[in-house]
Structure 1
Amino acid sequence: MLTDIHCHLESVPLERLNKYIAQNGRIGAVSMTEKSAQQLIRLKQQYPASIYLFLGIHPEKDCDETTIQAVIDLIYSHRELLSGIGEIGIPFFYLDDKTEHEKHLIKQQGSVLLERFIKIAAELCLPVNLHVVEDDIHYALPILQRYQIKGALFHWYEGSDENLELLHQQGHFISVSPWIFVESHYFEFAKKIPLDMLLVESDSPCKYNGEIGEPMMIHNVIAALAEHHQLAVEQLQQIIETNTRRYLQQ
């Protein structure tokens, strides 16, 4: 069994989803908005054994308090369907035209929303699926520590060796995407990730070299990392699935 731990499943064609599930695949489906949260709830009800449902609001999305509260209400009203909280995190992209001071203020505001969802995760004893980029871990880690969240997933994370070591020391996970086939520097970082914190993701429908991402792509990611670590593909698959179960608290 293989798990694509971070996927925007509402955007994956059903034939692609069915093909992946037919090969005993599982998917960590993360919401970005209230609309996607509702779509994912319906998919979870349709494929209860194959989807790990995460509900949250993507930090790069503009949303008002009504929308935030609507997603929170969905979390509580569908608690029995949930595997975690996400996608949540710190705004990072689309800030190039901002000054450093403006960026800091935006990230602080994002931290406030992140904390609201982290508090819910702690209350419900659920793992979190995070959008936190580079040095922004220093906004997120104090919040995780405050609520005693262990084993958070930093999806598609890339950062310094020091930050990687810090995440490893604190027992968190990092998921690797097919971006390793697009950017060599990302692949070099992925090679450094300790195997006991490694997960894999498609981040579908993100495009890779012009090709729309889909869950089946995680097979190629695992094969490339297995070759680097001089492991049999099956051996690395087992390591990743063991990590996935630990992350999902199974």
Structure 2
Amino acid sequence: MLIDIHCHLEGVLAFDRERFFKQNGKIGAVSMTKASALELIRLKQQYSDQIYLFLGIHPEKDVSEQEIQAVIDLIYQHRHLLSGIGEIGIPFFYLDEKTEQEKHLIKQLGSERLARFVKIAADLELPVNLHVVEDDIHYALPILKDYQIKGALFHWYEGSDENLALLHQQAHFISVSPWIFVDPHYLEFAKKIPLDMLLVESDSPCKYNGVQGEPNMINPVIDVLAKHHQLSWDVMATLINENTKRFLKI
């Protein structure tokens, strides 16, 4: 069994979705908005055994309080379908034109939204699927600690060696994306990730070198990681699968 732990499944082509499921693949589907949450709930009801459903509001989305509350309501209404809360986190991209003071204020506001969803995860005893970039872990980690969230997933994370060591020390997880085939710096970072915190994701339908992402892209990611660690593909896939189960608490 292969698990693509971070995927925007509502944007994946039906052919790619079905092909992955037929290969005994499973998908951690994360929402970004109310609309995507509703579509993922529909897909979860259709493919109950193949989807691990995460509901949340993407931190880069500028949405109304009404929409945030609507997604929170969906979380409680569909608790029985959920495997976790996500995609949640700290805004980072699209802030390039902002001053440092403006960035800090936006990230502080993002931290408040993150805390709301992390509290829900703690109340419902669910794992969290996080969009937190580089040094922004220092916004997120105190929130996770306050709500006693252990084993959070920092999806597609890349940062300093010090930050990597800190995440490992606190027993969190990192998922590696096909971006390793685009960015050599990211590939070198991925090679440093300790094996006991390693997961894989497609982040579909994100594009890689102009090619639309799809869940089967985790296969070559596993292959690269296996070769680096001098393990067989099967051993690496089994290790990642066990890590993913620990993250999902199954």
Shorter chain as normaliser: what TM range?
over 0.9
Q: Which segments of structure 1 move beyond 3 Å, counting only runs of 4 or more?
A: none
Q: Whole-Å Cα distance in 1 between the matches of residues 91 and 12 of structure 2?
A: 24
Residue 199 of structure 1: aligned partner: 199
SS at structure 2 position matched to 1:219: helix
SS at structure 1 position matched to 2:75: helix
User: How does 1:64-213 map onto structure 2 within 5 Å?
Assistant: 64-213=64-213
Q: What percentage of residue pairs aligned between the two structures are identical?
A: 74
Residue 245 of structure 1: aligned partner: 245
Matched AA of 1:70: A
Q: Whole-Å Cα distance in 1 between the matches of residues 141 and 176 of structure 2?
A: 20
Matched AA of 1:51: I
Q: Whole-Å Cα distance in 1 between the matches of residues 122 and 203 of structure 2?
A: 25
Residue 235 of structure 2: aligned partner: 235
Matched AA of 1:50: Q
Q: Which runs of 5+ in 1 are unaligned?
A: none
Q: Which runs of 5+ in 2 are unaligned?
A: none
| Residue 39 in structure 1 maps to residue 39 in structure 2 | yes
Normalised to the residue count of structure 1, the TM-score between the two structures is 1.00
SS at structure 2 position matched to 1:17: helix
For residue 20 of structure 1, report the CA deviation from its aligned partner. Answer: 0.2
Q: Whole-Å Cα distance in 2 between the matches of residues 101 and 16 of structure 1?
A: 43
1:166-221 Cα deviation digits (max 9, x unpaired): 00000000000000000000000000000000000000000001100000000000
Q: Whole-Å Cα distance in 2 between the matches of residues 187 and 70 of structure 1?
A: 38
Residue 21 of structure 2: aligned partner: 21
User: How does 1:39-58 map onto structure 2 within 5 Å?
Assistant: 39-58=39-58
1:86-133 Cα deviation digits (max 9, x unpaired): 000000000011000100000000000000000000000000000000
Q: Whole-Å Cα distance in 1 between the matches of residues 29 and 164 of structure 2?
A: 25
RMSD of the alignment, in Å? Answer: 0.3
Residue 7 of structure 1: aligned partner: 7
Normalised to the residue count of structure 2, the TM-score between the two structures is 1.00
1:22-70 Cα deviation digits (max 9, x unpaired): 0000000000000000000000000000000000000000111100000
Matched AA of 1:234: D
Q: Whole-Å Cα distance in 2 between the matches of residues 231 and 99 of structure 1?
A: 46
Q: Whole-Å Cα distance in 2 between the matches of residues 231 and 208 of structure 1?
A: 26
For residue 14 of structure 1, report the CA deviation from its aligned partner. Answer: 1.1
